[in-house]
Copies of this chain bind each other. A is one copy, B any other.
């Protein structure tokens, strides 16, 4: 018995991963990130500590909910846009689409993460460290769209700009209330698109 692409096993794995992510975020939001041990997280998700580390390489990763499928999916998205969409624009739309999806699926978790990240901004950066290979994958996709070699600086900068935009946006999102995260990311990416050389006026 085996639905194409979703066996019992697969379903259980997704559930376990989700439970661990959720436990990490909620506990961290309640008591503060480093007043929660992996042992407690594992207990809350009803698995052993060792299993926690089978799913996430670190506590940091679990907090951010690092999803191994995200990078390949995003890369596909980048490549799927019609040929006349410029590479930066394709990347921009991909990022915004991913964020929209993510917030639709797990807005509550992000609201909790916000609280955690507000107190420990470094976790945001640290969490992105994991994604070195993900960045590589995305950069390759952007490079292909741009007709440039993978080794070129441009696609890497685009991807790095995406991380930077996201980081800044989350930081602001955590401070200002009532702004949509997607809007903030979009705004930041626009600035990267048009260039930082000219300062915006202080209206």
Contact = CB atoms under 8 A, between A and B. Distances in A.
Contact of A197 (B126, B129, B184, B194): B194
A146 interface: yes
A197 to B, nearest CB: 4
Interface of A: 86-89, 121-123, 125-126, 128-130, 132, 146-149, 151-154, 156-158, 160-161, 163-165, 167-169, 171-172, 175-176, 184, 187-188, 191-200, 202
B129 A151 contact: no
Contacts of A165: 157, 160
Contacts of A168: 153, 156-157, 160
A199 B164 contact: no
B157 A202 contact: no
Nearest to A176: B151
Nearest to A154: B200
Contact of A196 (B88, B167, B172): B88
Contacts of A184: 153
A149 B158 CA distance: 27
A66 to B, nearest CB: 12
A87 B194 CA distance: 16
21 contacts: A88-B196, A88-B197, A88-B198, A126-B126, A147-B202, A151-B175, A152-B200, A153-B168, A153-B169, A153-B172, A153-B184, A153-B187, A154-B191, A154-B199, A156-B171, A158-B196, A160-B165, A192-B195, A192-B196, A193-B196, A195-B197
